[in-house]
Chains A and B, each alone.
Chain A
Amino acid sequence: MPGAGPGFFTAEEREVVAAACDRLIPPVDAHPGGRALGCADYIDGLLDAFAVDPPRIWAGGPFSGRAGGDARFDQFLPLTRVEELAWRTRIEGSQGRPDREFNGPVRGWQEEYRDGLAALGPDFATLDAAAQDARLEAAPTLRTLLYQHACEGAYGPPEYGGNRDLAGWRAIGYPGDVQPRGFSDAEVERRA
């Protein structure tokens, strides 16, 4: 499972990510925040995707087991040669390798996070909300990336490491994947 191994983040970085995700997706009423939803696990699982084979890029199918059928989402799918090139470049950066730089150098997400988290500061988690928001405002590149990934982690399938205990889906009344059970005709047609 993502987050179970050593991962990409240091313990300090992981704490900053969790605190930042709790500002991007703060807890409100019965809706847990990004920290409790496991967004940091999701992001760590992505940045460390190639620590396992097949990599944690595309969850398997056709069913998760949550609505019947065999649970297969946790059997990740293998990538082709060029798909691996794309995902390694996106995550690790092009690192001067010609096969990754056919349109020029690419800065990878690992580097964006490492530098961006350093800019948020190792004391980030200890600050009050207003101070945290100010630091996030001052780091737009990281914030944009982090927000996209936090949204995926909060509301995506839990096999990617986030949406812990399906709490993201439960909070918003969304059923998630429903195959092979699906919805009855009455559930489609009627108001409730």
Chain B
Amino acid sequence: MADVDAVVVGTGPAGATAADVLTDAGWSVVMLEKGANHLLDLEPPYAPRGHVSNDEVKCLTRHFLGPDPFLEPRTFRHREGEGDRIHTGGVNNLPSTVGGGGFHADGKLPRFREVDFRARTGLGPVEGADVVDWPFGYDELEPYYAAAERFVGVAGDHAGNPFAAWRSGPYPMPPGPDMYCARLTSEAATGLGFHPYRAPTGVNSVEYDGRPACNNCGFCAFFGCPIEAKGDPVAMLRRALHTGRCEIRPQAYVTEIVLDGSGRQARGVRYLDADGAPREVSARHVILGAGAFETPRLLLRSGVGNPDVVGRFLMYHLQTYVLGIFPFRLHAYRGRSVTHLMDDPIVPDAEATRAARDAGLPYFRGGIVEHGGGSHPVVEAMYSPWGETHTRLMLDSPMRDRMAAFTMQGEDLPQATNRIDLDPAVKDVWGLPAGRVTYAPHRHEAACAEHWAPRLEAVLRHAGAQSTFWITSPPLENARGRRQRDPTPISRHVMGTARLGTDPRTSVCDPWQRLHDVDNVVVTDSSVFPTSTGYGPTLTLVALAIRASRALANLAPLTSSRADALPGAPPSTR
């Protein structure tokens, strides 16, 4: 007899969503989280803990949300030929605390488009990459997207984006206030033929689900919300706790998935508790929501999952930052960090198609462009040189208060050589091998960034910027004059390391996100993404987790029909 119906590894949006659905279906759930709990009391009425604050020192330089790179180092190299590693420390660290990756985000929650689920058949292969279709399409996922938007609480304008996929209903909340800086850049973008729209954000614009409207404090990304105006991840966790069937155990580091004698079924997991003592939870099902870095690391050290594929096809987004310095102040420290997006680089125009052909590629798949700006002064100060220049720059603030910033989340094509595996020497504080990233972007990503960056610079100049420049993360290896110290990708969008598919030889999870070889283990995080698309992964991974968890609990599939689609924005003529 198992202790619980399901043990969930990780309390971020993936694990939280699974716990929400399964406890609602009557299941008993234990959630194991390696980090500490700063989010909410674990006893009724599950009040906020009050640890989260507008504190740049705590959150940006002192690893408050974890993981501390001393305790959990990660390693990085571009390719095998470089040796065991070229970097040890933080690599795309998403928070490891109760609430997980949801903490770090400013909550932009766009859906993918129809074509994103059939890139191979709809657009074709790309040499040197393994572009595949997803095993289901947008129409099947639509009702789960709608449910995900209700679960988290998303504010947005359904008629704003001419490139958006069809929707069965409006957003649960109207959009919040537009940031001044984004209004400037949006107007300029429209003037140059782009299609900016008000971003769907998982941030309350009105009171929702018992949580207050956002009051625009400006400390979104990397801080966590002190007033719970952000739904991800607290909404799902609190609902699960209120059923009385969910227990969250913080400081519980899962070391291993335990299989039964047949090797085809999981019996539960082993973990180390806060004192480092070994424990075990037995469960009918094991749900992995540890994120696309830690999930494959756990599978690899447990020897579970298709060994030829686990950890491979690691994808980020190639982030292109296009920065403009304005002759006046933009106060981008007020508001929800990013209030406008545009999808234009995702939907190639004739010029982009020609540029792709010239680069020897069948097409460009860029990414969503976020209209943002500078934020807070400790980071600004550390990027400035020391001496008199420091103080003059801080007074003038070209890199914070006078800066507008576009971030393009360029689609990262899947390559088998990009992977996470176990470092042969570096260990974590629990004595287990560190996760190691081997990653270099495909030339598609670099060519795409080179194409779009100057066009986005033109938008910033049109908006009034007196100077502009651009950089990427990871740095383009052939970039002249743009040398950056850190070779690792900054992107916290980590995907693909336990990919979905119908063929057990070429994928790790089946279309219901169960491991092909151990079918009572379900992966609910972005590890399962077969392709990265040019959109942030969170809403899609929540939608997938709802779908997979409902199927696991034998609940009826959610349905919607394209025939009932909401009238959207007038389609672009592109």
Instruction: State the A residues within 8 Å of B (CB).
Output: 23-29, 31, 33, 57-64, 72-73, 77, 80-83, 85-86, 89-90, 102-103, 106, 133, 136, 143, 147-148, 151-152, 154-157, 160, 168-169, 171-185, 187-191
Contact = CB atoms under 8 A, between A and B. Distances in A.
Contacts of B426: 103
B61 A178 contact: no
B309 to A, nearest CB: 29
Contacts of A62: 48, 50-53, 226-227
Interface stretch (B361-369, B387-395, B440-448, B541-549): B387-395
Contacts of A185: 177, 216
16 contacts: A26-B387, A28-B395, A33-B391, A58-B51, A59-B58, A62-B51, A62-B53, A63-B226, A77-B51, A83-B68, A155-B378, A155-B381, A157-B55, A172-B401, A180-B215, A188-B180
B57 A188 contact: no
Interface in B222-265: 226-227, 251
Interface in B70-103: 70-71, 73, 88
B43 to A, nearest CB: 18
A187 B334 contact: yes
B193 interface: no
A191 B180 CA distance: 6
Contacts of B50: 60-62, 72
Given A62-B226, A86-B70, A190-B180, A73 B215 contact: no
Given A59-B58, A155-B381, A171-B394, A82 B217 contact: no
Contacts of A184: 216
Contacts of B275: 81
B556 interface: no
B428 to A, nearest CB: 8
Contact of B388 (A28, A160, A177, A191): A28
B217 A174 contact: no
B386 A156 contact: no
Nearest to A156: B57
A39 to B, nearest CB: 11
B431 interface: yes
B276 A81 contact: yes
B334 A24 contact: no
Contact of B53 (A60, A89, A106): A60
A30 to B, nearest CB: 8
Given A31-B395, A189-B178, A156 B56 contact: yes
B36 interface: yes
Contacts of A85: 71, 429
Given A26-B388, A86-B68, A189-B183, A151 B378 contact: yes
B437 to A, nearest CB: 17
Nearest to A58: B58
A22 B36 CA distance: 38
B218 A178 contact: yes
B553 interface: no
A25 B275 CA distance: 43
B274 interface: yes
A140 B52 CA distance: 35
B429 A82 contact: yes
Given A81-B274, A82-B68, A85-B429, 17 more contacts: A24-B386, A25-B386, A26-B391, A31-B391, A61-B55, A64-B54, A103-B88, A152-B61, A154-B381, A174-B333, A179-B219, A179-B227, A180-B227, A182-B214, A183-B217, A188-B335, A190-B180
Interface of B: 36, 38, 48, 50-58, 61-64, 68, 70-71, 73, 88, 177-180, 183, 214-219, 226-227, 251, 274-276, 328-329, 331, 333-335, 376-378, 380-382, 386-388, 390-392, 394-395, 397, 401, 426-429, 431
B220 to A, nearest CB: 12
A184 B178 CA distance: 11
A29 B543 CA distance: 54
B214 to A, nearest CB: 8
Contact of A73 (B38, B55, B331): B55
Contact of A59 (B55, B391, B401): B55
A17 B301 CA distance: 47
Contacts of A73: 53, 55
Given A26-B391, A179-B226, A64 B53 contact: yes
A94 to B, nearest CB: 10
B499 to A, nearest CB: 31
Contacts of A27: 391
B467 to A, nearest CB: 20
A188 B177 contact: yes
Nearest to B54: A177
A183 B218 contact: yes
Nearest to B37: A80
A31 B215 CA distance: 30
Nearest to A76: B58
B391 A25 contact: yes
Contact of B51 (A23, A61, A172, A183): A61
B216 A188 contact: yes
Closest 7 CB pairs of A and B: A182-B215, A61-B53, A177-B54, A151-B381, A156-B57, A62-B226, A28-B391
Given A85-B429, A102-B429, A183 B53 contact: no
Contacts of A148: 61, 382
A156 B215 contact: no
Contacts of B216: 182-185, 187-188
Contacts of B38: 77
Nearest to B426: A103
Contacts of A176: 54
A183 B226 contact: no
B57 A183 contact: no
Contacts of B217: 177-179, 182-183
A45 B390 CA distance: 24
Given A61-B55, A103-B426, A152-B61, A183 B431 contact: no
Contacts of B395: 28-29, 31, 171-172
Given A25-B390, A103-B73, A147-B382, A59 B48 contact: no
